[in-house]
Amino acid sequence: MRAINRFLIVDNIKLERKVVGGLELMDNQDANNRYLKGKVISAGSLVEGISEGDVVFYDRHAGHSIELADKKHYFVLKAGDIVIVE
């Protein structure tokens, strides 16, 4: 599997649960966080500054998910949807 042109294929990284004041916050408590974290699986040939293996942050409303034969969900994003590269 590989991305083409200005597209990226990203595997979402689940953020660790937060503990605040001894209380563990559930996943839905972090709904105000606008950006998701993911690892780039494939970058299209026209994508600059981002390569396979990079960890990126992207807008939670960007792109769409796909499911492959291995039953794993990936996200297909445009390069412009990436806001931070770690």
DSSP lists the bridge partners of residue 7 as: 78
In-domain check, residue 52: yes
Q: On the CB side of 42, how many CA atoms lie within 13 Å of its CA?
A: 12
What's the CATH code of the domain at 75? Answer: 2.30.33.40
Counted domains in the chain: 1
Mean pLDDT of 50-67: 93
User: Which residues form the domain of 25?
Assistant: 7-85
In-domain check, residue 74: yes
- pLDDT tens per residue, range 2-38: 899 999 999 988 766 667 777 766 655 456 678 999 9
64-67 and 73-78 strand pairing: antiparallel
In-domain check, residue 54: yes
DSSP lists the bridge partners of residue 49 as: none
In-domain check, residue 50: yes
Is the CB of residue 83 less than 8 Å from the CB of residue 59? yes
In-domain check, residue 55: yes
Mean pLDDT, the chain, whole residue set: 86
Higher pLDDT, 33 or 44: 44
- pTM for this one? 0.78
Q: CA 72 to CA 48: how far, in whole Å? A: 26
